[in-house]
């Protein structure tokens, strides 16, 4: 898999404040990479540096395996701030201005509007758009040159739930076209539902990096209930070779499984012993749980 971006010990200081401290990352083709952290953690500063908007104090980065930055920049679509569109112009008119500024031509305007599901509203003035539609038009502007990489800074910030869902679905659709997406966000749910990989920044320092799917894998606890004598059910579960611990959990029981065992096997064990389970629920991890755990480990 080709390396899209390699960041090596990137550092940025504003006076006494170190906004980003020796950050190193490698982002590969096809990834949806989330840079996660609370406000003030250095996310936007990082994006600014890799887009040549902010000059680093030290360290370096390389796009597309050492492609010169000026050439690489043409392959990147980005949204760093609120969209600067003219309210009394239509979507098409605004995108023509954007295309002129980017020097990328106007031939892809209709296609970009279709990509973001705004083609039917292309002749409506920007001021009539909802917040979600305005953000989608921003993404259309970033897609005008059909770049292989898209950089988004807090893409759902300030949106209502409907707008968040619209933008989230759009990001997923764009990624399915084979594009690499780098996204900064402080919203755990957004990163969990959209990203394939993520890192956590805290006060400019990377404190964690990994795959989202690894973080969200099932944990080894199963909640069980049945129309069966509770004490007998406890003994049946306790006798299961994969049970590490069994405890009461409200009206049911909570089984902690040994590594290598799963809920399907415990369901079969109960059925073999004459018990039809009424409820079998595997507890799952969430990015929120992992995020809080990571922060606690670095207090």
Tokens of 289: 């749980």
Determine the average pLDDT of the residues in 64-77.
85
pLDDT score at 217: 65
Where is 70: in which H helix or E strand?
helix 69-73
Give the β-pairing of 32-36 and 58-63. Answer: unpaired
Average model confidence (pLDDT) across the chain: 90
Q: How far apart are CA 277 and CA 240, in angstroms?
A: 15
Residue 289 lies in a domain: no
Tokens of 162: 């409907």
pLDDT grade for 286, boundaries at 50, 70 and 90: confident
Highest mean pLDDT, choosing among 16-20, 62-66, 175-179: 16-20
Cβ atoms 215, 189 nearer than 8 A: no
The total number of structural domains that make up the chain: 2
Range with the lowest mean pLDDT among 10-19, 258-267, 289-298?
A: 289-298
Q: How far apart are CA 152 and CA 10, in angstroms?
A: 19
14 and 62: one domain? Answer: yes
pLDDT score at 35: 96
pLDDT grade for 142, boundaries at 50, 70 and 90: very high
Tokens of 27: 């982002």
Q: Which domain holds residue 42?
A: 3-215
Using the 3D structure, point to which of 215, 240, 258 is the last residue of a domain. 215
253 and 189: one domain? Answer: no
The reported pTM is: 0.79
Query: pLDDT higher for 68 or 207?
Result: 207
pLDDT in tens, 189-212: 888 889 999 999 999 999 999 998
Using the 3D structure, point to which of 154, 188, 215 is the last residue of a domain. 215
What CATH number corresponds to the domain at position 21? 3.40.50.300
61 and 98: one domain? Answer: yes
pLDDT grade for 167, boundaries at 50, 70 and 90: confident
Residue 236 lies in a domain: yes
Burial of 223 (0-12, 13-18, 19+ CB in 10 A): middle
Using the 3D structure, point to which of 215, 231, 265 is the last residue of a domain. 215
pLDDT grade for 262, boundaries at 50, 70 and 90: confident
Q: How far apart are CA 133 and CA 151, in angstroms?
A: 18
Residue 160 lies in a domain: yes
**DSSP assignments along 75-140, one per residue:** TEEEE-SS----TTSBHHHHHHHHHHHHT--STTHHHHHHHTT-GGGTTSBGGGS-HHHHHHHHHH
Q: How far is Cα of residue 95 from the mean position of the Cα atoms in its chain?
A: 27
């Amino acid at each position: 898999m080709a390396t899209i971006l390699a960041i090596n010990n990137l550092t940025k200081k504003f006076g006494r404040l170190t906004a980003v401290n020796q950050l190193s990352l490698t982002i590969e083709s096809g990834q949806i990479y989330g840079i996660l952290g609370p406000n003030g953690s250095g996310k936007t500063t990082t994006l600014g540096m890799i887009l040549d908007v902010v000059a680093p104090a030290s360290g370096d980065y390389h796009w597309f395996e050492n492609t010169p930055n000026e050439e690489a920049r043409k392959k990147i679509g980005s949204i760093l701030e609120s969209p600067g569109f003219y309210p009394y112009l239509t979507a098409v008119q605004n995108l023509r201005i954007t295309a002129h500024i980017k020097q990328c031509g106007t031939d892809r305007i209709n296609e970009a509007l279709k990509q973001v599901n705004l083609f039917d509203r292309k002749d409506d003035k920007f001021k009539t758009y909802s917040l979600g539609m305005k953000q989608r038009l921003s993404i259309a502007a970033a897609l005008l040159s059909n770049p292989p990489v898209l950089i988004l800074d807090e893409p759902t910030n300030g949106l209502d739930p409907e707008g968040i869902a619209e933008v989230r679905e759009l990001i997923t659709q764009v990624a399915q076209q084979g594009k690499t997406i780098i996204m900064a966000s402080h919203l755990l749910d957004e990163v969990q539902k959209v990203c394939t990989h993520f890192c956590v920044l805290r006060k400019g320092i990377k404190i964690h990096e990994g795959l989202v799917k690894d973080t969200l894998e099932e944990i080894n606890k199963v909640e069980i209930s049945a129309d069966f004598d509770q004490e007998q059910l406890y003994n049946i579960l306790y006798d299961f070779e994969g049970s590490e611990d069994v405890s009461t959990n409200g009206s049911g029981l909570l089984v902690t499984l040994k590594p290598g065992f799963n809920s399907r096997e415990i369901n079969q064990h109960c059925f073999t012993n004459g018990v039809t389970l009424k409820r079998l629920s595997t507890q799952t991890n969430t990015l929120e749980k992992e995020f809080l755990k990571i922060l606690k480990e670095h207090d």
